[in-house]
């Protein structure tokens, strides 16, 4: 063992030994002992220079005037004197704007005299332009319509799509354009389907893929009516005749899936929508009156195609909201057709609500009016480019709307009316301008909400 004295002997104060093994801790060299410039404590020489220099004074704080920029001369970079091989190796960095100022000047001076490097630089700059895409890669939803209109103006189609099928064709194409860039996270994004059932708002939780499976299932009703393959033909309980409707078919399809639907459902849905449009185009207007059964009710084919176009748009909005993406309403001419269908269905829905005890005849007309006779009516005014006016008979589905017996007037925006018909807005919350019989207005607004379903 060694004591403290032995440990410290021959060491400097900082713990390190000196060059000669002494313990004085005094540095040797210039200014040290034995040097003429070293000043000791007795003042025998000049004072030692400070080991840490003092901060330098800023030019702005010294009072010395700053130089005039005009006196600095030409500040342009002087091109570097580089070989051809070095300049050629810098072309990639030059195309990416990653060169220094001097290197950029040297490369650009070289490109003016070397054709091979100039061609290579042009190709690299074009490649960089592809890497840095300045515009969004999302397709404009209206691009397909504009291209088709341009083509059809030059040469009409040999087999045109019927007018009553055009909204379905357009809405399925718009939804397919929305889905094309979805990744796995978007396909499994949660979506809540909403509708009204016996004047109560109902909802069902699913995913984006589940919504497309729902559209595939219900569109299969039209496919079956046209003699096409039903996508649910092999699903137990989904394609059986009887009261099974859209909700029953969808639930059966979801139950039959061992795993939640994924992006693979997009292909069958898209192929089915193309087949439907192609088939009704070949059959022309002759198939428009074909009856399509929805289980507890039926619609002519031309109305069923409008109904499917409306639901496709509504669920496309559900999907767009789930992934936080904007989605525009249908074209005004297509939206007008959808609103007209809803207005034509309202008298029948009002009659069904009376039979179910959800509505009552008017006080002045306790009995339903005969078929074809004028009766109490409500004027439905839809505002906007897709708007119009409809007289809704209140006392019988077979009655005739009459301005003479008008008892109420309701005004709504076209999109707001569709949101009400889709069950996304409650009758109490709908932005409605109303005048006249309050009970008649309430019955009609709740009847519009009753049009919604899963």
- pLDDT, one tens digit per residue, over 287-308 is 767 899 998 889 999 999 999 9
Q: Which residues, at least 6 apart from 312, have a Cβ–Cβ distance to it below 8 Å?
A: 168, 171, 172, 175, 215
Using CA atoms, how far apart are residues 176 and 165, in angstroms rounded to an integer? Answer: 17
* Alpha helices (H) along 78-179: 84-89, 91-95, 101-111, 115-131, 143-154, 166-179
Residue 139 structure tokens: 């397709």
Q: 153 pLDDT band (50/70/90 cuts)?
A: confident
Q: What is the pLDDT of the chain when averaged over all its residues?
A: 81
Place of tokens 């039926």: 298
| Mean pLDDT in residue range 196-213 | 93
Q: Which residues does residue 299 pair with via DSSP β-bridges, in sequence order? A: 292
Q: 15 pLDDT band (50/70/90 cuts)?
A: very low
* Alpha helices (H) along 264-324: 266-283, 301-322
| Domain residue ranges in the chain | 77-131, 161-322, 336-450
Could you report how far apart the first and last alpha carbons of the chain are, in Å?
91
Report the run of H or E that residue 223 belongs to, with start and end.
helix 208-225
Q: Is domain 161-322 given the CATH code 3.30.70.1380 in the classification? A: no
Residue 223 structure tokens: 């496919």
Q: 59 pLDDT band (50/70/90 cuts)?
A: low
By CB atoms closer than 10 A (0-12, 13-18, 19+), residue 209 is buried
Q: What is the pLDDT of residue 414?
A: 95
Alpha-carbon dihedral 423, 427, 433, 434, rounded to 10 degrees = 130
Q: What are phi and psi of 388, to 5 degrees?
A: 165, -170
Q: Give the closest residue to 222 by CA, choosing from 305, 336, 313, 103.
A: 305
Q: What is the pLDDT of residue 29?
A: 43
Q: What is the pLDDT of residue 61?
A: 60
What does DSSP say about strands 388-393 and 400-413: parallel, antiparallel, or unpaired? Answer: unpaired
Q: Which residues, at least 6 apart from 1, have a Cβ–Cβ distance to it below 8 Å?
A: none
Q: 26 pLDDT band (50/70/90 cuts)?
A: very low
Say if CB 441 and CB 362 are below 8 A apart.
no
**Helix (H, G, I), strand (E, B), or coil: what is residue 409?**
strand
Using CA atoms, how far apart are residues 133 and 410, in angstroms rounded to an integer? Answer: 49
CATH architecture, range 336-450: 2-Layer Sandwich (3.30)
Tell me 247's DSSP state: H
From 29-38, 127-136, 231-240, 361-370, the region with the lowest mean pLDDT: 29-38
For the chain, give the percent of residues with pLDDT over 70.
75
Using CA atoms, how far apart are residues 303 and 390, in angstroms rounded to an integer? Answer: 18
Query: pTM here?
Result: 0.66
Say whether pLDDT at 44 is over 90: no
Using CA atoms, how far apart are residues 15 and 429, in angstroms rounded to an integer? Answer: 84
Q: Which residues, at least 6 apart from 41, have a Cβ–Cβ distance to it below 8 Å?
A: none
**Helix (H, G, I), strand (E, B), or coil: what is residue 403?**
strand
From 56-60, 210-214, 350-354, 441-445, the region with the lowest mean pLDDT: 56-60
């Amino acid at each position: 063992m060694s004591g403290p004295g032995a440990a410290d002997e021959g060491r400097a104060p900082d713990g390190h030994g000196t060059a000669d093994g002494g313990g004085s801790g005094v540095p040797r060299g210039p200014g040290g002992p034995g040097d003429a410039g070293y000043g000791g404590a007795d003042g025998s020489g000049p004072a030692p220079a400070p080991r840490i220099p003092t901060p330098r004074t800023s030019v702005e704080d010294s009072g010395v005037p700053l130089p005039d920029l005009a006196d600095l001369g030409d500040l342009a970079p002087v091109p570097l004197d580089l070989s051809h091989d070095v300049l050629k190796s810098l072309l990639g960095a030059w195309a990416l704007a990653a060169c220094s100022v001097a290197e950029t000047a040297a490369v650009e001076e070289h490109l003016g005299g070397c054709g091979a490097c100039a061609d290579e630089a042009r190709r690299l700059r074009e490649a960089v332009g592809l890497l840095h895409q300045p515009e969004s890669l999302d397709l404009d939803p209206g691009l397909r319509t504009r291209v088709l209109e341009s083509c059809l103006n030059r040469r009409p189609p040999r087999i045109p799509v019927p007018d009553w099928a055009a909204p379905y064709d357009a809405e399925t194409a718009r939804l397919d354009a929305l889905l094309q860039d979805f990744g796995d996270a978007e396909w499994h994004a949660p979506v809540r389907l909403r509708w009204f059932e016996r004047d109560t708002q109902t909802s069902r939780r699913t995913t984006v893929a589940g919504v497309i499976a729902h559209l595939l299932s219900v569109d299969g009703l039209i496919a079956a009516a046209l003699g096409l393959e039903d996508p649910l033909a092999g699903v137990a309980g989904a394609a059986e005749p009887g009261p099974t409707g859209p909700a029953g078919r969808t639930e059966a399809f979801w139950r039959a899936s061992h795993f939640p639907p994924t992006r693979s459902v997009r292909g069958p849905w898209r192929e089915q929508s193309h087949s439907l449009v192609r088939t009704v185009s070949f059959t022309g207007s002759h198939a428009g009156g074909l009856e399509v059964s929805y289980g507890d009710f039926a619609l002519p084919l031309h109305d069923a195609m409008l109904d499917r176009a409306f639901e496709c748009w509504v669920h496309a909005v559900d999907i767009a909201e789930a992934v936080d993406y904007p989605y525009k309403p249908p074209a005004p001419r297509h939206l007008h057709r959808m609103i007209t269908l809803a207005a034509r269905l309202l008298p029948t829905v009002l009659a069904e609500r009376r039979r179910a005890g959800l509505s009552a005849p008017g006080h002045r007309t306790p009995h339903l009016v005969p078929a074809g006779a004028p009766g109490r009516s409500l004027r439905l005014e839809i505002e906007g480019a897709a708007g119009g006016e409809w007289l809704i008979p209140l006392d019988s589905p077979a009655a005739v709307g009459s301005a003479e017996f008008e008892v109420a007037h309701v005004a709504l925006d076209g999109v707001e009316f569709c949101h009400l018909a889709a069950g996304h807005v409650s009758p109490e919350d709908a932005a409605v301008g109303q005048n006249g019989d309050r009970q008649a207005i309430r019955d009609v607004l709740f009847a519009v909400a009753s049009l919604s379903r899963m």
